[in-house]
Amino acid sequence: MQSTTVDLNAKIPNNVGLADDPKLLRALEKWLPRYLEWWHDMGPTDFEDKPVFLRTAVSVSTDGWAHYDHVRMPDYRWGIFLNPREEESEIRCGDDAGKPAWHEIPGEHRNALRRIIVTQADTEPASVEQQRMLGHMAPSLYDLRNLFQVNVEEGRHLWAMVYLLHKYFGRDGRDEADELLERRSGDVDKPRILGAFNQPCDHWLSFFAFTMFTDRDGKYQLAALAQSGFDPLARTTEFMLTEEAHHLFVGETGLDRIIKRSAELEQIDPNGDIRNQGGIDFDLIQRTINYWFTYSLDLFGGEISSNAADFFAAGLKGRYREDRLDEHRALGQEYRLNVVDGGKLTERDVPLRNAMNEVLRDSYVKDCERALRKWNRTLEAAGSKTRLTLPSRRFHRHQGIYTDHFFNPEGQLITADQWEANKHRWVLTPADNDYLLSIMKPVYEPGKFANWIAAPTRGIDGQPLDFEYVKLHD
């Protein structure tokens, strides 16, 4: 089972020995056509017959795990891969830290694990649904290919979670796997589970912000689950993280390229008017950052959470890089939080275990701050005086202890009226979306890029920028 050999010729490529488990294989082969039907209905529109230069996971060894070639998306080889582990795995945190990890579901944690896995699984198809129209306004073939790469890998992440549901949760797991194909992003009757995954992602500015901020929540959640005492979950999520790095690259560099181009257009225009040059002005970029950063903060859950304490105590979910910390119990320690009390912001200490969502959010925010510093260096190098910022983590929240209050981007308490009067300056508006849709016309000529974005510094897998990343005519 601890195999690095991947059965690539199987109907479902895998390194989990599916061929030796006929019952599981049958269940997954029954799910496969339903998945393909979902992909056809809810995946990227209209590009199904076009060969895309995609990377496919073919191995779990760190060198050369991926293979690049032109493939049509419905023919993509969605597989099931677990990272191998050399040492005998241990529970890494909580009350049982140091004891052997579980290779089967411990009965007392069955419900919690099922909930964690279903929540993680649900985000993967949701993001594909949110992005399904974006191919029609891609700024280049390079970007179009990156969009589809992200989409097929989110599809594979769904496979990764569905494997766990089918293998370890019996009948309930199969039912959950079916329901994952029935919920729909933004649907009033059967929405996706988490807030950010029901928000529209109408254009490429939101796509880049989504892959920057929302996929980055994915990175931290997966990293926390990679510390899980349920060994198959830890090893599945570890492999997902290797793919995730590219999604974050797409988001971070995509925004950087827009920022760079906007700074150029600011210099070109006699009045420094970026929109006058058909570009994306910095206020609009800031509103987009504010919007997706805060919806992504919500994905970490409440600041004070007994669920989070239970997950940690049970060893189901660790902190970011828990294995590198000195201490894994988090007992007898407190975490200081800003809370609203009697209409004022004050501080309160809560037991550290109850603040585990906030601890993970801290790691995430730090990483986002790093990206902001990078973008601001781009602005400086391009001669722009503008600087972009991250809003306070209290601003524009829909989950947790700040939900029922209003804050400005600096994190100060404001009134509902002040919020109403200013929100159009702070978060994406319908007018912003209209403007962005008006400038986002597709550019499908190899090597050409839309006016509102700079070219990347290099191509994919050593290919030149004018490579035919998606073959639209053949």
Positions that interact with ligand BYC (CB under 6 A): 116, 119-120, 123-124, 127, 154, 194-195, 214-215, 217-218, 221, 298-302, 305, 307-308, 317, 357, 399
How many Cβ atoms from other residues are within 10 Å of residue 363's Cβ? 16
Q: Which does 357 bind (CB under 5 to 8 A by kind): Fe ion, ligand BYC, none?
A: ligand BYC
Q: Which does 184 bind (CB under 5 to 8 A by kind): ligand BYC, Fe ion, none?
A: none
Stretch that binds Fe ion, among 241-249, 250-258, 368-376, 457-465 (CB under 5 A): 241-249
Name residues contacting Fe ion, limited to 78-117 (CB under 5 A).
none
Q: Which does 256 bind (CB under 5 to 8 A by kind): ligand BYC, Fe ion, none?
A: none
In whole angstroms, the minimum distance from the beta carbon of 240 to Fe ion comes to: 6
In whole angstroms, the minimum distance from the beta carbon of 467 to Fe ion comes to: 23
**Which tokens hold the place of 243?**
């793919």
Cβ neighbours of residue 70 closer than 8 Å, sequence gap 6 or more: 51, 52, 53, 54, 471
Indicate the residue among 153 and 256 with the shorter CB distance to Fe ion: 153
In whole angstroms, the minimum distance from the beta carbon of 211 to Fe ion comes to: 7
With CA atoms as reference, report the closest residue to 175 among 187, 166, 167, 185.
Answer: 166
Indicate the residue among 121 and 314 with the shorter CB distance to Fe ion: 121
Strands 334-341 and 344-351: antiparallel
Indicate the residue among 215 and 256 with the shorter CB distance to Fe ion: 215
In whole angstroms, the minimum distance from the beta carbon of 218 to ligand BYC comes to: 3
Q: Is 347 helix (H, G, I), strand (E, B) or coil?
A: strand
**Which tokens hold the place of 171?**
């009948």
In whole angstroms, the minimum distance from the beta carbon of 308 to ligand BYC comes to: 4
Angle at 457 between CA 452 and CA 461, to 5 degrees: 120
Amino acid at 221: Q
Q: Which does 307 bind (CB under 5 to 8 A by kind): ligand BYC, Fe ion, none?
A: ligand BYC
In whole angstroms, the minimum distance from the beta carbon of 468 to ligand BYC comes to: 27
Indicate the residue among 10 and 133 with the shorter CB distance to ligand BYC: 133
Candidate residues 166, 247, 287, 397; the one interacting with Fe ion per rule CB under 5 A: 247
Alpha-carbon distance of 96 to 98, in angstroms, equals 6
Please report which helix (H) or strand (E) contains residue 233, including its range: helix 231-268
Query: Facing residues of 413 across strands?
Result: 407
The answer to whether 122 contacts Fe ion (rule: CB under 5 A) is no
Name residues contacting Fe ion, limited to 136-175 (CB under 5 A).
154, 157
Indicate the residue among 215 and 252 with the shorter CB distance to Fe ion: 215
Q: Which residue has the tokens 């677990």?
A: 82
In whole angstroms, the minimum distance from the beta carbon of 255 to ligand BYC comes to: 15
Q: Which residue has the tokens 């479902």?
A: 12
Q: Which does 167 bind (CB under 5 to 8 A by kind): Fe ion, ligand BYC, none?
A: none
Q: Which does 109 bind (CB under 5 to 8 A by kind): ligand BYC, Fe ion, none?
A: none
Indicate the residue among 194 and 280 with the shorter CB distance to ligand BYC: 194
**Which tokens hold the place of 214?**
């929302």
Indicate the residue among 130 and 286 with the shorter CB distance to ligand BYC: 130
Q: Which does 119 bind (CB under 5 to 8 A by kind): Fe ion, ligand BYC, none?
A: ligand BYC
Indicate the residue among 354 and 386 with the shorter CB distance to ligand BYC: 354
Alpha-carbon distance of 301 to 360, in angstroms, equals 10
Angle at 376 between CA 214 and CA 250, to 5 degrees: 35
In whole angstroms, the minimum distance from the beta carbon of 67 to Fe ion comes to: 19
In whole angstroms, the minimum distance from the beta carbon of 116 to ligand BYC comes to: 5
Q: Are 260 and 378 in contact (CB under 8 A)?
A: yes
Indicate the residue among 123 and 277 with the shorter CB distance to ligand BYC: 123
Q: Percent helix, strand and coil across the chain, each rounded to 5?
A: 50, 10, 40
Indicate the residue among 231 and 303 with the shorter CB distance to ligand BYC: 303
In whole angstroms, the minimum distance from the beta carbon of 241 to Fe ion comes to: 9
In whole angstroms, the minimum distance from the beta carbon of 330 to ligand BYC comes to: 15
Alpha-carbon distance of 334 to 353, in angstroms, equals 8
Q: Which residue has the tokens 């009948």?
A: 171
| Number of residues lying near Fe ion (CB under 5 A) | 5
Query: Facing residues of 90 across strands?
Result: 100
Alpha-carbon distance of 182 to 312, in angstroms, equals 31
Alpha-carbon distance of 393 to 12, in angstroms, equals 42
* Buried b or exposed e, range 425-464, using 16+ CB within 10 angstroms: ebbbeeebeebbeebbebbeebeebbebbbbbeebbeeee
Site string for Fe ion, 187-226 (x = CB under 5 A): ----------------------------x-----------
Indicate the residue among 51 and 218 with the shorter CB distance to ligand BYC: 218
Alpha-carbon distance of 214 to 289, in angstroms, equals 11
Q: Which residues bind Fe ion (CB under 5 A)?
A: 124, 154, 157, 215, 247
